[in-house]
Structure 1
Amino acid sequence: MKLTFTLLILLIAATGYSQKIKLQLNLQKDSTYTITMNAKMDIDQLIQGAHQIVKTTITGVMSHKVISIQDTLYDMDVTYKSLVMNMELGGKTINFNSQDNDTTNIMSKAMRNMIGNSFTIMMSKRGQIVTVKNTERLFAGIFKGFPAIDEQKKTQLMAQLQQSFGDKSIKGNLQESFVIFPKVQVDVKSNWTNQTFLEAAAISAKTKTTFTLDGVTDDAYEISGTAVIMADKVPEFKNSNKFFIRLLNIAGDNVTKVKINKKTGWIMQSNVKKHIKGDVELKQTLDGPILITYPMVIDGDLSTTGN
């Protein structure tokens, strides 16, 4: 009787035990993993009492081929398969599409010339984007097949593309989706905190996110997160449309929902909703005085699907 009672207690304890889970990427060499990113950003600038609103949507399909695995790091060749950008400004809508065969749309043609050119990222098993390199390959031959345009327009076009597809911008977008994994094993309803840094265009900010493992399904882990966004170091002035600007006094928050594949750790679905506010300082020349300071509010919605 005593033995039976002891076994019963052990059985109850074993049944009630929650097995710890190691959340991380488990990718295979020479395998290719794809994500489709849809980034929407609404910018509201209050300039001299008038709201100036810019709405931008960028959609891109990216393939990630694992070239090598070094301990806890993955070296990947990343290639854009398609790119679409839509912008609404001052009642006008501008569309750029890498699959558009309209030879008169210079930006679409430039984006089409970026397709298939690979760059390199190094990502840890915890999803940290360690390095983004060789993005200059994206712009190699970008003016191939272009009609004759002057050097000033080429320089402006290159600057616009590098602002959206340069090392820092790509790193910032990728880490929004992937820096979700904890340092230690967790169980359902466990919490952990990660911190990321964003330095792109005229913004320098850090995000502190508290994640929760909400649940486990047959094929996925479901994770949610809430974050506080704050200023990091003082950003430098950046050239933007013949002016120099930077964003100060940054504050905000975001909410994250992620579903990752149980086998690979790769993102199946992800959504990040972001709200940021700050103050813009604007100069006409880099060494000149500040002409105007005005508030800016940014609302972003980044959705990602992967396989």
Structure 2
Amino acid sequence: MDRPDIPLNALRVFEVAMRQGSFTKAAIELRVTQAAVSHQIARLEDLLGAALFLRTSQGLVPTDEGRLLFPVLEHGFDAMARTLDRLNGRRDVEVLKVGVNTTFALGWLVPRLPAFRLAHPEIDLRISTNNNRVEILREGLDMAIRFGTGGWTGHDAIPLLDAPLSPLCAPDLAARLTGPADLAGMDLLRSYRSGEWPGWFASLGLPCPPLTGPVFDSSVALAELAAGGAGVALLPVAMFDAQIAEGRLVRPFGASVTAGRYFLAWPSDRPQGPAMTAFARWITAQATAPQDD
């Protein structure tokens, strides 16, 4: 197949800019100036005769041409990186980058990672944590474990674990609670998912008291505040078994509400390589195994 002169440097700059969603962030990753990034993108657009980005007040918006080009380049650069790793002596190792909701990572995944590494020494699993707000492509990830409904546009997702939410608090505070209605006089710690407390009270047929105070984007932070006596947090109980076993957190009521579940997700247009397939099979088996295994 005849190939025209391929502007590899410009293509690489475009791939990073698409993934980062910003010329500034792309410049930081590539260790060049923002002007150099802009120049390479303009050069590539000129060669293609098509705009790849729209510059708006909200930032970069890829055009249809940009969206068409990006997955081809991403897969190509990833394939080149894997081949270079093999030529550099890492013949049997495939890197897999997975973003993980912090609560899930600490409460469930991390204790199981040694078993994965033992079963799959051919995979270099690299975990990065997040507060559930993750953009797989822009962050250079292969997959992500997220909490929600699974309906993420442009992504495939498989369910892993249900995560019913129930109130948790410090033992001293729990001793003052005789029933759910008593929560009306307590500080109710809030996450950024504003419907959780109203949904829990509604499941019991009770009105939700006014919710005030700061909003947190991490269940781990909420759990620490609750354990310290700052209030009552509505949390995925299964992710805090260790704190409950230690007596730092108490579940005063059995009532729970389901606001979502944990999913393994990846871009729909990304072919699953051996590492992605192996990880998906392993974590699905772990999630469906009996709890006492």
Asked if Structure 1 and Structure 2 have the same fold, meaning a TM-score greater than 0.5 normalized by the shorter chain, the answer is: no
TM-score (norm. length: structure 2)? 0.22
Structure with more of its chain in helix, by fraction: 2
Relative contact order higher in (CA < 8 Å, ≥ 6 apart): 2
Structure with more of its chain in strand, by fraction: 1
